[in-house]
Chain A
Amino acid sequence: MPLDKWAPAGWHWLLWALIASGVTLLLLLLRPSLDKSHFALTYLLLVLAGSAVGGHRIGFALAVASFLLFDWFFLPPYGTLGIANAADWLVLATFAIVSGVAAQLVHRLRREAASARERTIEVDRFAALGASTLNVANARDALSAITDVISQRLRLETCRIHPMLSTLRSGSSAPDSLIAWVIANGCTAIGIRDGTTRLTSASGLPDAGLDDACRVLLPLHVRDRVAGVLEIAANRLTIAPAETRFLNALIPYAALAVERVELEATAGHAEQLRESDRLKNALLASVSHDLRTPLTTIMAVAHDLGGKDPRAALIEEEAGRLNRMVGDLLDLSRVQSGTSLTAVELNAVDDLVGAALQRVAGATSGRDVRVTLEDGGTLLLGTFDLAASVRILVNLIENAAKHAPDGSIELDVARRGAWLELRVSDRGRGVDELDRDRIFAPFYRPSGTLPDVQGSGLGLAIARGLAESQGGALTYLPRPGGGSSFILKLAAADLA
C-alpha cells in the first residue's frame, strides 16, 4: 500500500509544532506546582496523539521534540540539556524509549488497519465481480465483465478472453500459434517489446520479469484442463505487485466464466439433440402406425380373395415381407439411436432358446436346428433382455437358413466364465475374410449372396446393436470344416 500518501502536509507540521509549544507554555506555568513525572506523562500523551492522528513521522518528530523540551524546561537544571540529579537520567531514558516505542506501535497499527481496509475493498470487488459474472443472463456478458474490470484496474489497452472451443472452431481467423501453445501446455507466455517471446513453465502472472513485456497470455485452468486463454496487452505493461495479486486472483473467475460459456453451448446442443430425438421418435411411431394399418387391410383383402385368385396369396406374402422390412427399419433406428434396453434382468436360457426356436419354426421350414446345451444338468441363467436376445437368435438362425440352404443349423450354448456363449453355426459357404466386419453394417449384402436370398440386409446390424446395447457382443468366426459361426455373448448369472 502506498506509504507516500501518509506524508503529512506542511500545515500538519505547523499545527503540531503549535500544539507542542502550547503544551510546553501551559506546563511552564504549572511548573512550580507539579512533579516532573506529570510533565513526562503529558508529553507522552502528546506523542501518542501526534502518532495516531498525524502519522509516524510527526509522531517521531514529536517524540524527539518532547524529549528535548522535557529535558530543557523541566529537568533541573532548567534551561540546559544537562542533568543535575543522576536519577533523572532514568526518567529521561524511560521517556525516550516509551515515546519511541509508542509512536512505532501506533504507526504499525495504522498501517495494518489501512491494509485491512484495502483488502476489504478488494474482497468486496471480487465478490461483486463474482456475483455479476454468475448472475448475468448471458455467459458471454460475464466474460466481458471480467475483461472490463481487469483492463480498468491494470490500465490495459487490450484485455481479451479466448475460450478454447471457439478458438479451435474459428476456422476463419487462423488461431494465434502462441495461444495454441498456451492451451497445449497450460503455461503462461510473455510477449516482449522487441518482438521475442518468453515461454514460462508456470501458470499465472509471474511476480517479476515483466519490465519489457507488452503482451501476456495466461492459461485459464478448469480442473485439469485449459479452458481458455486470458490475453492482456499494453504498449508498456506496468504491473505493481498488488495488481499481480489482483490478476492472479481473478484468473479462476475468468476460467469459471469460460466454462460457463462452454456449458451453455453444450446445453444448447443437448437441447437440440433431445428435440430431434423426440421428433424422430414421434415420426417412427407415426410411420409404424400409418404403415401397418393399411398393410392389415391389404392382407385382409388378399385373404378374402384367397380362394378365387392365386395371385392373392402372393399379395399376402409380399405384404408380410413389407411388414418385416418396416419392423427391421424401426428396430435399426431404435438400436442406432442408442436407446438402452430397460428389461435387462435375470432370465433362463431355456426361455431364450425355446422362444427363438418357436419363432423360427416357420422360417426354417422344417430344417433341423440342433441344439446342444452344455448345462451340466443345471439351469443356465443370465442377465439379459429376453425379447431382444430372442430377436438376435432368430435373426442368426434365419440368416443361417437363408445363406446355407443345406445341412443342419446348430445352436450350442455354454457357460464360459462370466459369459454365456450362444453359437449359431451352419455349413454354408462362409464369409470372405474381407467381409467379416462389413456383414454387420446395415444394408450390406456380401458378394456372392445366393440369388434368391431375400432380406433387407439389416438382420445382423440389428442383432449386433441389440447385443451391444445390453452389454453383450456378437462376433463372427469361420467354422472349421467350412461354414460360419456367429457367437453371441451375454452376461451369465448365478442364483444367489
Chain B
Amino acid sequence: MSHPKSMPLILIIDDEPPIRRAVRNAFGDAARVIEAATGSDGIDQTAASRPDLVILDLGLPDISGLDVCREVRRWSPVPILVLSARHADAEKVALLDGGADDYLTKPFSTTELQARVRALLRRAAASPETGATSITIGELSLDVSARTLRRQGELVHLTPTEWDLLRALMTHAGRTLTHQQLFHEVWSGRQYGDAQQYLRVYVAQLRRKVETDPLRPRYITTEPGVGYRFIGLTDATG
C-alpha cells in the first residue's frame, strides 16, 4: 500500500472532527482520506469519488447510519466499516444484514482500525466470491467443485449441511456473517424445520470436525449475539 499509485481512497463519514482527524492520522501516507460530516454528503461523495472503502459513523445528525448503509449498498459494492459507540448486538446484526462488511465499537485502537481496513481492502481486491474452485486457509482446503474438504491433506467427511455451512463461512473468510445471512446461504430454497434454531448445533458439530480444539477454535469463531466468522487470510497469516 506504500506505492502512491495504488494508494487506496478512504471516505470517512463522521460528524465529529476529532474522529475524522484520528482516522486521517491512522493512515498517514498509506491512504488518501476524504471526509464527509453528514450522511447525505457521505452518500453523494461515495457516488462521486468512488472510494475503495467507506468508514461510517452511526451517530450522524441527519440520516441513520443504517439508512446510509442500505442506500449505498443499492448501487455500490464498496466495503463499509461501521463505527458505533453503543455496543448493542441487535444494532450490529441490523447493520451487517443491511450490507455493512464489518464494525468497530468505540473506542477502538488505531492498530485495530488499521487491521480491519487492511483486511477489507485485501478481500475486496481478491473478490474470491466468484470463480474460485478451491479455497485454502491454514490446514483446511475446500474444493468447491468436488464438494470435498481436506484437512492436512486428509479427506474429512462432512454432511451436506455442514459442507454448505463451511463453504459459506470460508468464501466470506474474515467477515462476520449474521445468523440470518448464514441461514440464507445454507438453507435457502430447501425444506427445513427448525434449521435456523439449530444453526448453532450445526456449527458446533462442524467445529468438532475441523478444529483441533473446538473450545479454542482457530477457524470458526463466535461473535456472541451477532453470528460467526471464519478467521480470514490476514488474521491467519498475520
A and B together in one complex: yes
List residues of chain A with CB under 8 Å of any chain B CB. 285, 288-289, 292-301, 303-304, 316, 319-320, 323, 327, 343, 345-348, 350-351, 353-355, 357-358, 371, 373, 379, 381, 385-387, 390, 495-496
- 6 closest A-B pairs (Cβ-Cβ)? A300-B22, A387-B225, A296-B107, A295-B107, A303-B110, A387-B224
Query: Are A304 and B25 within 8 A (Cβ)?
Result: yes
A354 touching B200 in the complex, CB below 8 Å, given contacts A292-B85, A295-B107, A390-B224: no
Query: Are A351 and B203 within 8 A (Cβ)?
Result: yes
Cα–Cα distance between A320 and B111 once the two chains are bound (Å): 14
Which residues 59-82 in B have Cβ within 8 Å of A in the complex? 59
Residue of A nearest to B104 (CB): A296
A296 touching B108 in the complex, CB below 8 Å, given contacts A351-B222, A355-B222, A387-B89: yes
Q: Taking the nearest CB of chain B, how far is it from the CB of A410, in angstroms?
A: 13
Q: Taking the nearest CB of chain A, how far is it from the CB of B50, in angstroms?
A: 27
Which residues 190-238 in B have Cβ within 8 Å of A in the complex? 194, 197-198, 200-201, 203-205, 207-208, 214-217, 221-225
Residue of A nearest to B93 (CB): A343
Q: Residue B153 at the A interface, CB < 8 A?
A: no
The contact string, 1 if C-beta is below 8 Å from chain A, for chain B 165-204, is 0000000000000000000000000000010011011011
A350 touching B26 in the complex, CB below 8 Å, given contacts A289-B86, A296-B19: no
Residue of B nearest to A330 (CB): B87
Q: Taking the nearest CB of chain B, how far is it from the CB of A435, in angstroms?
A: 30
The 5 listed contacts between A and B (C-beta, < 8 Å) are: A289-B59, A296-B18, A348-B200, A351-B203, A354-B207
Residue of A nearest to B87 (CB): A327
Q: Residue B109 at the A interface, CB < 8 A?
A: yes
Cα–Cα distance between A357 and B218 once the two chains are bound (Å): 12
Cα–Cα distance between A298 and B109 once the two chains are bound (Å): 10
B106 / chain A contacts, CB cutoff of 8 Å? 292-293, 295-296
Residue of B nearest to A285 (CB): B86
Which single member of B18, B59, B109 contacts A303 (CB below 8 Å)? B109
Query: Are A319 and B107 within 8 A (Cβ)?
Result: yes
Cα–Cα distance between A66 and B212 once the two chains are bound (Å): 121
Residue of A nearest to B17 (CB): A297
Query: Are A299 and B107 within 8 A (Cβ)?
Result: yes
Q: Taking the nearest CB of chain B, how far is it from the CB of A98, in angstroms?
A: 87
Cα–Cα distance between A111 and B100 once the two chains are bound (Å): 87
Cα–Cα distance between A431 and B217 once the two chains are bound (Å): 33
B16 / chain A contacts, CB cutoff of 8 Å? 293, 297
B109 / chain A contacts, CB cutoff of 8 Å? 299, 303, 316, 320
Which single member of B86, B111, B203, B221 contacts A348 (CB below 8 Å)? B203
Q: Taking the nearest CB of chain B, how far is it from the CB of A328, in angstroms?
A: 12
Select the residue from B87, B200, B216 with max chain A CB neighbours within 10 A.
Answer: B200
B26 / chain A contacts, CB cutoff of 8 Å? 300, 303
Cα–Cα distance between A353 and B217 once the two chains are bound (Å): 10
Cα–Cα distance between A296 and B106 once the two chains are bound (Å): 6
Query: Are A297 and B18 within 8 A (Cβ)?
Result: yes
Cα–Cα distance between A193 and B23 once the two chains are bound (Å): 89
A296 / chain B contacts, CB cutoff of 8 Å? 18-19, 22, 106-108
A304 / chain B contacts, CB cutoff of 8 Å? 25, 110
Which single member of B86, B108, B207 contacts A350 (CB below 8 Å)? B207
Query: Are A293 and B18 within 8 A (Cβ)?
Result: yes
A343 touching B89 in the complex, CB below 8 Å, given contacts A293-B19, A386-B225: yes
A347 / chain B contacts, CB cutoff of 8 Å? 200
Cα–Cα distance between A386 and B22 once the two chains are bound (Å): 33
Select the residue from A292, A296, A358 with max chain B CB neighbours within 10 A.
Answer: A296
Query: Are A299 and B224 within 8 A (Cβ)?
Result: no
Cα–Cα distance between A379 and B224 once the two chains are bound (Å): 18
Residue of A nearest to B199 (CB): A346
Select the residue from B21, B26, B109, B205 with max chain A CB neighbours within 10 A.
Answer: B109
Query: Are A300 and B25 within 8 A (Cβ)?
Result: yes
The contact string, 1 if C-beta is below 8 Å from chain A, for chain B 14-45, is 00101101110110000000000000000000
Cα–Cα distance between A347 and B203 once the two chains are bound (Å): 10
Which single member of A292, A320, A373 contacts B215 (CB below 8 Å)? A373
A381 / chain B contacts, CB cutoff of 8 Å? 201
Q: Taking the nearest CB of chain A, how far is it from the CB of B216, in angstroms?
A: 6
Given contacts A299-B110, A346-B197, A350-B215, 14 further A-B contacts (CB under 8 A): A285-B86, A295-B106, A296-B19, A300-B25, A300-B110, A319-B107, A327-B87, A350-B207, A355-B222, A355-B224, A358-B222, A386-B225, A390-B224, A496-B194
The contact string, 1 if C-beta is below 8 Å from chain A, for chain B 42-60, is 0000000000000000010
Query: Are A353 and B215 within 8 A (Cβ)?
Result: yes
A297 touching B85 in the complex, CB below 8 Å, given contacts A289-B59, A316-B109, A354-B215: no
Cα–Cα distance between A296 and B112 once the two chains are bound (Å): 12
Cα–Cα distance between A381 and B221 once the two chains are bound (Å): 18
B204 / chain A contacts, CB cutoff of 8 Å? 348, 350-351, 379
Residue of A nearest to B202 (CB): A348
Which single member of B108, B194, B197, B217 contacts A354 (CB below 8 Å)? B217
A354 touching B214 in the complex, CB below 8 Å, given contacts A293-B16, A304-B110, A323-B107: yes
Q: Taking the nearest CB of chain A, how far is it from the CB of B210, in angstroms?
A: 13
Query: Are B225 and A343 within 8 A (Cβ)?
Result: yes
A358 / chain B contacts, CB cutoff of 8 Å? 216, 221-222
Cα–Cα distance between A296 and B107 once the two chains are bound (Å): 4
Cα–Cα distance between A345 and B201 once the two chains are bound (Å): 12
Q: Taking the nearest CB of chain B, how far is it from the CB of A309, in angstroms?
A: 15
Query: Are A294 and B201 within 8 A (Cβ)?
Result: no
Query: Are B22 and A346 within 8 A (Cβ)?
Result: no
B225 / chain A contacts, CB cutoff of 8 Å? 343, 385-387
Query: Are A297 and B110 within 8 A (Cβ)?
Result: no
A295 / chain B contacts, CB cutoff of 8 Å? 106-107
Cα–Cα distance between A495 and B200 once the two chains are bound (Å): 12
Which single member of B22, B108, B198, B224 contacts A495 (CB below 8 Å)? B198
